[in-house]
Chain A
Amino acid sequence: SQQGEEDPQALSIQEGENATMNCSYKTSINNLQWYRQNSGRGLVHLILIRSNEREKHSGRLRVTLDTSKKSSSLLITASRAADTASYFCATGASGGYQKVTFGTGTKLQVIP
């Protein structure tokens, strides 16, 4: 079963708008990662946030992590048509070994 659940499942916005995606997970984590996948291709790593971090920025991306609520959000500001893709959150488990477990993904469409 999936550890992470992204919300919404699909999102359609106009170019220039901001896109927010949420991820909830079930067990304690070591870190949480966000990935992007263009149709039928490999995943591109976007950002990793560790369990002791609350917020992280990378370019137009802003990720927050709330371990008390077991949730994370990914904000893409000033979206572009090239941002159209599926976005996944992945949790790295606490403990000795890392097992990255993916959520179901949010399909983002940015309309030019």
Chain B
Amino acid sequence: KAGVTQTPRYLIKTRGQQVTLSCSPISGHRSVSWYQQTPGQGLQFLFEYFSETQRNKGNFPGRFSGRQFSNSRSEMNVSTLELGDSALYLCASSLDMAREAFFGQGTRLTVV
């Protein structure tokens, strides 16, 4: 069974631009969560989707948004990028919201 796939792996963007990151969960998993990891803040929860609905949201500004499609694939979008958005963005999928989460390798976003 293929693991969680995140694309792209690396991304360099300029301040003010927007970016879309993609996550394909493990086949059969319906819950997808997104996290931001930075050296200063550690792992911060962004949001969680289940059956195309956002179930939980972390404490991030509205510039961060996401969605989940009917095939459980998920995308997150960051608009008006700031230097502080440079981070490793991790996606995790689980069978449902009470089970262990399996992580992708992450997308490393650098904002210059």
Q: Chain A interface (Cβ within 8 Å of chain B)? A: 2, 30-31, 33, 35, 40-45, 48, 88, 90, 92, 97-105
Whether B98 contacts A104 by the Cβ 8 Å rule is no
| Shortest Cβ distance from residue B21 to the other chain A in the assembled complex, whole angstroms | 14
Whether A33 contacts B43 by the Cβ 8 Å rule is no
Picked from B45, B50, B90, B94, the residue with its CB within 8 Å of the CB of A43 is: B90
B93-108 contacts to A, CB under 8 A, are 94, 97-106, 108
Q: Decide yes or no: A105 and B42 within 8 Å by CB, A42-B105, A43-B90, A98-B31 being known contacts.
A: yes
Whether A44 contacts B103 by the Cβ 8 Å rule is yes
Beyond A45-B101, A48-B100, A97-B50, 18 extra complex contacts between A and B, CB < 8 Å: A2-B42, A33-B101, A40-B106, A40-B108, A41-B106, A43-B92, A43-B103, A88-B43, A98-B31, A98-B94, A98-B97, A99-B48, A100-B33, A100-B92, A100-B101, A101-B45, A102-B43, A105-B42
Contacts of A97 in B (CB 8 A): 48, 50, 55-56, 97
Please tell me the number of chain B residues within 8 Å of chain A, measured between CB atoms.
Answer: 26
Whether A42 contacts B106 by the Cβ 8 Å rule is yes
| Shortest Cβ distance from residue A15 to the other chain B in the assembled complex, whole angstroms | 27
Whether A33 contacts B105 by the Cβ 8 Å rule is no
Q: Main secondary structure on chain A at its contact with chain B?
A: strand
0 or 1 for each of B34-70: is its CB under 8 Å from A? (1 = yes)? 0100000011010010100001100000000000000
Could you show 23 A-B contacts with beta carbons less than 8 Å apart?
Answer: A33-B100, A35-B103, A40-B88, A40-B106, A42-B103, A42-B105, A43-B90, A45-B100, A45-B101, A45-B102, A88-B43, A97-B48, A97-B56, A98-B94, A98-B97, A99-B45, A99-B48, A99-B56, A100-B92, A101-B45, A102-B45, A103-B42, A105-B42
Picked from A2, A30, A40, A43, the residue with its CB within 8 Å of the CB of B98 is: A30
